[in-house]
């Protein structure tokens, strides 16, 4: 009987020991799940958001560079913890070319200097002070300037494969000027592939001033427009100038499990961080003051591409291509008014109020104004392609 009782006590002791070990293990596992794993997962998601921020900073740098194309890797999710892949966060990237816009109105401008490339029309011109065909890489072809988009009032510069050059000016469908220049006359300047410039207001090279003066004296054609086909540099006095650009945006929105959901947005050269209802600009945007505040310099980004979105928790490769850029220089502008329509209007107002105390916001549009500045605007078209 004593031996049986002793064995029963040993069995009970063993069972109790096992139960105690199980309780300790359960408590330990529960503590890990309740405190350690959430803290580790939150830290993992914070690191992931920092990686996304780096990707957007890289995106902004590539959009601002002169490189024609590039790719950016954006991790949509953090990948999850080892052995806990179900805890992985996810995200969605969105491209909306029409999601935001900017309107810049310039009044009482002394003069505008502009470089044009390709097929471009400039409206509301009252006087042309300088105009030349200019290229850093001379190629065969026709370089033309139209007045009021009328083919009967134009000057054409023909560059031939052998380096020869001919200019023809037309008025009312009749040739009033013809001058033929060969490479032997201008030395190395007409070697194909070299830099070449030609002053169209110089009567020795072009009869363009003849039809230009006729336009000045024609009330029905004044103010007039110039349409360019090729590479030109022009300085002119406009009536007023207005730029309307659909800037668009590229956005990442996180869906985190243990960290605050955040958004990162590239819009008009700036990287914006949004958390809840609050948003702020985290990188220097498109505008700065130079020459002791007398020069207002802006880069306006036109995001193009197909409106689309992509979600998941893997790695996404986004392709961007800088299609082209143009510089517009406006001398001594009396009034500059700028209206920015954006879903992140609060962030833009915070930035604009640092430079313009009168900045205001209404219906997702930020209004600001400046006075007596020379304005240098660079417009960039950036094409974005999602996978």
Do 275 and 381 fall within a single domain?
Answer: yes
Give how far the C-alpha of residue 209 lies from the chain's centroid of Cα atoms, to the nearest Å: 37
Instruction: Specify if 36 maps to a domain.
Output: no
Do 224 and 272 fall within a single domain?
Answer: no
pLDDT value of position 293: 86
Instruction: Specify if 254 maps to a domain.
Output: no
pLDDT value of position 188: 46
The tokens describing 360, both together, are: 């205001």
Do 143 and 58 fall within a single domain?
Answer: no
- Contact yes or no for 321/383 (Cβ under 8 A): yes
Within 10 angstroms of residue 310's Cβ, the number of other Cβ atoms is 15
CA 197, 201, 203, 207 torsion: positive or negative? Answer: positive
- Contact yes or no for 227/121 (Cβ under 8 A): yes
Instruction: Specify if 371 maps to a domain.
Output: yes
Look up the CATH number of the domain holding residue 186: 2.60.120
- Contact yes or no for 132/198 (Cβ under 8 A): yes
Nearest 10 degrees: CA dihedral of 228, 234, 237, 243?
60
Nearest 10 degrees: CA dihedral of 76, 78, 80, 86?
-30
pLDDT value of position 180: 46
* Three-state secondary structure string covering the chain: CHHHHHHHHHHHHHHHHHHHHHHHHHHHHHHHHHHHHHHHHHHHHHHHHHHHHHHHHHHHHHHHCCCCEEEEEEECCCCCECCEHHHCCEEEEEEECCCCEEEEEEECCCEEEEEECCEEEEEEEEEEEEEEEEECCCCCEEEEEEECCEEEEEEEEEECCCCCEEEEEEECCEEEEEEEECHHHHHHHHCCCCCEEEECCCCCCCCHHHHHHHHHCCHHHCCEEEEEECCEEEEEEECEEEEEECCCEEEEEEECCCCCCCEEEEECCEEEEEECCEEEECCCCCEEEECCCCEEEEEEEEEECCCEEEEECCEEEEEEEEEEEEEEEEEEEEEEEEEEECCCHHHHHHHHHHHCCCCEEECCEEEEEEEEEEEEEEEEEEEEECC
pLDDT value of position 28: 54
Instruction: Specify if 123 maps to a domain.
Output: yes
Do 142 and 198 fall within a single domain?
Answer: yes
Exposed e or buried b for every residue in 86-97, given b needs 16+ CB within 10 A?
A: ebbbbbbbbbbb
The residues pairing with 315 across neighbouring beta strands, listed in sequence order, are 75
Do 220 and 169 fall within a single domain?
Answer: yes
Rounded Cα–Cα distance for residues 356 and 175 (Å): 53
- CA nearest to 379, candidates 296, 283, 289, 297: 297
- Contact yes or no for 169/155 (Cβ under 8 A): yes
Do 226 and 141 fall within a single domain?
Answer: yes
Do 215 and 318 fall within a single domain?
Answer: no
Count of the separate structural domains present in the chain: 2
Instruction: Specify if 224 maps to a domain.
Output: yes
Range of the domain at 164: 118-230
Do 272 and 378 fall within a single domain?
Answer: yes
Rounded Cα–Cα distance for residues 106 and 237 (Å): 12
Instruction: Specify if 145 maps to a domain.
Output: yes
Of 175, 200, 230, the domain-final residue: 230
pLDDT value of position 270: 92
- CA nearest to 245, candidates 330, 341, 152, 179: 341
Of 180, 202, 230, the domain-final residue: 230
Within 10 angstroms of residue 275's Cβ, the number of other Cβ atoms is 11
Do 367 and 286 fall within a single domain?
Answer: yes
Instruction: Specify if 380 maps to a domain.
Output: yes
Nearest 10 degrees: CA dihedral of 179, 184, 188, 190?
30
Of 178, 203, 230, the domain-final residue: 230
pLDDT value of position 185: 41
- Contact yes or no for 240/337 (Cβ under 8 A): no
- Contact yes or no for 145/228 (Cβ under 8 A): yes
Instruction: Specify if 113 maps to a domain.
Output: no
Residue-by-residue pLDDT tens, the chain, 387 positions: 545 555 565 556 666 566 666 666 665 556 555 555 666 777 878 888 999 999 999 999 988 887 778 899 999 987 766 655 556 788 999 999 999 999 999 998 888 898 898 899 998 899 999 999 999 888 999 999 999 988 778 888 888 888 788 888 887 655 555 544 443 344 445 678 888 888 888 866 667 888 888 888 777 788 899 999 999 999 998 888 888 999 999 999 998 888 888 999 999 999 999 998 889 998 877 888 888 889 999 999 999 999 999 999 888 999 999 887 888 889 889 999 999 999 999 999 988 888 766 789 998 999 999 999 999 999 999 999 998
């Amino acid at each position: 009987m004593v031996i049986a009782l002793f064995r029963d006590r040993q069995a009970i002791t063993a069972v109790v020991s096992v139960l105690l070990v199980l309780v300790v293990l359960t408590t330990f596992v529960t503590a890990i799940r309740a405190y350690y794993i959430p803290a580790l997962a939150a830290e993992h998601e914070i690191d992931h958001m920092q990686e996304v921020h780096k990707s957007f900073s890289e995106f902004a740098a590539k959009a601002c560079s002169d490189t024609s194309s590039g790719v950016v890797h954006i991790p949509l999710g953090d990948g999850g913890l080892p052995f806990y892949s179900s805890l992985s966060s996810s995200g969605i990237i969105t491209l909306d070319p029409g999601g935001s816009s900017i309107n810049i109105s310039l009044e009482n401008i002394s003069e505008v200097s502009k470089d044009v490339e390709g097929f471009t029309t400039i409206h509301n011109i009252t006087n042309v002070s300088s105009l030349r065909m200019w290229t850093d890489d001379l190629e065969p072809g026709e370089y033309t300037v139209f007045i009021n988009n009328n083919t009967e009032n134009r000057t054409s510069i023909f560059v031939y494969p052998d380096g020869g050059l001919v200019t023809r000016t037309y008025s009312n469908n009749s040739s009033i000027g013809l001058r033929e220049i060969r490479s032997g006359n201008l030395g190395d300047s007409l070697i194909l592939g070299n830099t070449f410039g030609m002053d169209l207001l110089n009567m020795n090279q072009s009869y363009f001033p003849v039809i230009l003066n006729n336009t000045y004296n024609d009330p029905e054609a004044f103010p007039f427009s110039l349409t360019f086909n090729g590479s030109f540099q022009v300085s002119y006095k406009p009536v007023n100038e207005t730029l309307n650009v659909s800037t668009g945006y590229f956005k990442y929105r996180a869906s985190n499990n243990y960290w605050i959901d955040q958004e990162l947005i590239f819009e008009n050269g700036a990287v914006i961080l949004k958390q809840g209802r609050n948003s702020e600009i985290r990188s220097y945007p498109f505008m700065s003051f130079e020459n002791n505040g007398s020069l207002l310099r802006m880069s306006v980004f036109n995001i193009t591409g197909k409106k689309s979105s992509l979600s998941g928790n893997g790695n996404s490769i986004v392709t961007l291509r800088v299609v082209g850029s143009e510089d517009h220089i406006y001398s001594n502008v009396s009034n500059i008014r700028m209206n920015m329509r954006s879903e992140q209007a609060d962030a833009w107002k915070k930035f604009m109020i640092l430079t313009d105390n009168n900045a205001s916001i209404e219906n997702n549009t930020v209004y600001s104004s400046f006075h007596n500045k020379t304005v240098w605007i660079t417009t960039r078209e950036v094409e974005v392609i999602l996978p």
